Amino acid sequence: MGDTKKTYYITTPIYYPSAKLHIGHTYCTSVADTIARFKRLAGYDVRFLTGSDEHGQKIQRAAEAQGITPLEYTTNIVNGFKALWEKMHISNDDFIRTTDERHETVVQALFTKAYEKGDIYKAEYEGWYCTPDETFWTEQKLGPNHTCPDCGRPVERVKEESYFFKLGKYTDQWLKFIEENPDFIQPESRRNEMIQFVKQGLEDLAVSRTSFDWGIKVPFDPKHVVYVWFDALVNYISALSPFDGDGELYKKYWPADLHLVGKEIVRFHTIIWPMMLMSLELPLPKKVFGHGWMIVDGTKMSKSLGNVIDPIPLIDTYGADSLRYYLLSEITLGNDGNFTLPNFVTKINADLSNDLGNLLNRTIAMIEKYHGGVITKCDDMDDLDRDVSILAVQTAKDFEAAMENMELNKAIKTVWSFIGRMNKYIDETMPWVLAKSEDAHDKVRLQSAMYHLAEALRIIAILVSPVIPVGAPKIWEQLGLTGFEVATLEDAKTWGLLATGTKVVKGEPIYPRFEVPEMVDV
C-alpha cells in the first residue's frame, strides 16, 4: 500500500552566500519551519526545502576579492548557513545548493526545453544591471542618478550578447491565471502590485550572461552562463530530482504548496517563475507569500548595507526558542518588524519564563506536593473546570484556524491567552487551601484542579511545538509522558487523554529569566 497522507511542499528562498545570514533570513526560515512543523502535526507528509543561491557576478567578485575560487568561497559560507539552521532547530528535509550537479542538470534541461520551444532566442542586451540584486533594468525604470529602483544602489551599464526569454508572450495566460487563483499571491497588497506591474507591459528578459563565467553553462552555447535568477528559481523543482528514475519525489510533491519569500523578490516568484513554468508546460506553485522585512533604524536590514544583527550570539545567550518565539509572535506575517534587545528580553521573560514556565513549574510542584507526583483523572468537573476544558479544545481549534490562515502571531496569542487563563485558574481554585481541607469534596476539587492543569499543559505542549521545538518536549517529559514525536493536532483537540497514574517528572525551569539590557546595539 502506498502512503496516502496529503502532501505539503514548502520552500524558503535560497539565500546568497555573499555574507553570513542575519536575523532577517533567520526570520523567514523560522516562519517556514513553524509552518512545516504545524503541517506535520496536522498529519501532512511535509517536504521542507531551503538552500543556497551560489552563482552570479556578485559572488564571483566577492571570491576574487579574497583570492579563492567561487566554490571555496560559497562552501565556507554555506557551511555557516547549515550550522545556523541546526542551531535554530530548523527541520528542513533537504538543502539544495545551486552548485549541486543535481541542480545544474535540471537547469540545463529546462533552459534547452524553453529554447527548443522557441521561447528563448539570442540577441544583444544593452541596459543596466544591479549586481547586488542580480537584476536587469531598462533606462526608463531606473531611479535618480542611475540607481536600482528596488534597492537604490548604483547600477552598471551592460552591453553583451544574451539569450532572451519571451516573458511578454505569457501576459494573457498569467492574467487569466491570477484571476482564477485569487489566493496565489499573498498578501493581497502584493497581488495588486504585481498585476499593475504586468499590465504596464513586460519586456523580454535577458536570461544569460557572457561577461563572467561563474554560473551554469548554456549547454548549446557554453560561452554563456544562465542568468542567476533563471538558475535559482529552478531549485524548487531540481531539488525534487524530476529526471531521476521515474521522478518519484517530483511527482509526489510538485507543485509546491507555498513559496515563502521576502517582499522584494515576490516579482521574481509570481511573474518570472510562473511564466517560465508556463513555457515549460509545468504546473504552477499554489501560493507565494511575500513576508515583510526586519528593519533597523527605519531601513531594511541587509547583508550589503552591513546593518545586520547576527543571530548566533542571540541563540547562544538566549536559546533558539527565544529567538523563534520573539520573531514569530511579534511580527504580523506580511508586515515589517523591528528587533531591539530590550524588547526581545522583556518579551521572552514575560511570555516564556513567567507565563509558560511558571504554569509548568507550579503545576508540577503542586502535583508532587499534594499527590506524590501522580496524576489522577477526575470526571467530576465543576463549572470552572468545565470552562477551562472547553477553552482548551477551542484554543486548539482557533490555533489551527489561525495557522491555516498564515496568521502565526494570532495563533500564538491564542495559546498564550489560554496559558494566562490557566495561571488564573490556579489562583481561582486555590489548591493550597483545598490541600489543607479534610473535606471529601475539597479533595475531589483538588484532584480535579491538578488534572485540569496537567491536561491543559499536555495540550499546550503540542500547540507550542511548531514555535518552540526545544521547550515543548520538555513540558511533555515533565508531565511524565513519552512519544512526543507522534503527538498530533488531533490529540490537542481532544480533552482527557492524560491517563490516571501518569507520574510527573520535575525538571529544571525550561526558560530561565534574563536581565533586561540597556538599549544598546547588539
**Contact residues for ligand ME8, defined by CB under 6 A:** 13-16, 24-25, 27-28, 53, 232-233, 235, 261-262, 264-265, 293-294, 300-302
E strand intervals along 68-213: 94-97, 120-130, 135-137, 156-165, 185-186, 205-206, 208-209
Angle at alpha carbon of residue 269, lines to 58 and 76, rounded to 5°: 35
> Which cell goes with 314?
542571540
Q: Which is it for strands 45-52 and 120-130: parallel, antiparallel or unpaired?
A: unpaired
Closest CB 481 distance from ligand ME8, rounded Å: 36
Closest CB 14 distance from ligand ME8, rounded Å: 5
Closest CB 84 distance from ligand ME8, rounded Å: 13
Closer to ligand ME8 by CB, 261 or 463: give it: 261
Closest CB 259 distance from ligand ME8, rounded Å: 8
Closest CB 53 distance from ligand ME8, rounded Å: 3
Closest CB 170 distance from ligand ME8, rounded Å: 19
Please list the alpha-helical segments (H only) found in 254-357. Answer: 266-267, 273-280, 311-318, 320-330, 341-348
Closer to ligand ME8 by CB, 62 or 294: give it: 294
Closer to ligand ME8 by CB, 259 or 458: give it: 259
What count of Cα atoms within 13 Å lies in the side-chain half-sphere of residue 450?
31
- Residue 285 near residue 236, CB atoms below 8 Å: yes
> Which cell goes with 278?
508556463
Residue labelled with grid coordinates 493550597 = 432
Closer to ligand ME8 by CB, 54 or 400: give it: 54
Length reported for the chain: 522
Closest CB 236 distance from ligand ME8, rounded Å: 7
Closest CB 204 distance from ligand ME8, rounded Å: 20
DSSP assigned state of 132: T
Closer to ligand ME8 by CB, 261 or 323: give it: 261
Give the number of other Cβ atoms within 10 Å of residue 142's Cβ: 17
Closest CB 29 distance from ligand ME8, rounded Å: 8
Whole-number Å distance between alpha carbons of 400 and 210: 50
Closest CB 16 distance from ligand ME8, rounded Å: 4
Closer to ligand ME8 by CB, 265 or 426: give it: 265
Whole-number Å distance between alpha carbons of 467 and 412: 8
Closest CB 453 distance from ligand ME8, rounded Å: 38
Whole-number Å distance between alpha carbons of 58 and 16: 9
Q: Which is it for strands 258-262 and 225-226: parallel, antiparallel or unpaired?
A: unpaired
Closer to ligand ME8 by CB, 78 or 367: give it: 78
Distances (CA, A) of 103 to 56, 123, 217, 236, 237: 15, 26, 12, 10, 9
Residue labelled with grid coordinates 541546526 = 86
Angle at alpha carbon of residue 80, lines to 77 and 82, rounded to 5°: 115
Give the number of other Cβ atoms within 10 Å of residue 193's Cβ: 16
> Which cell goes with 459?
495540550
Closer to ligand ME8 by CB, 33 or 398: give it: 33
Angle at alpha carbon of residue 174, lines to 39 and 190, rounded to 5°: 60
Distinct helix (H) and strand (E) counts, the chain: 21, 15
> Which cell goes with 485?
514525536
Closest CB 124 distance from ligand ME8, rounded Å: 27
Angle at alpha carbon of residue 236, lines to 235 and 241, rounded to 5°: 80
Closer to ligand ME8 by CB, 53 or 257: give it: 53
Closer to ligand ME8 by CB, 130 or 233: give it: 233
End-to-end CA separation in angstroms for the chain: 54
3-state SS, residue 159:
strand
Closer to ligand ME8 by CB, 265 or 481: give it: 265
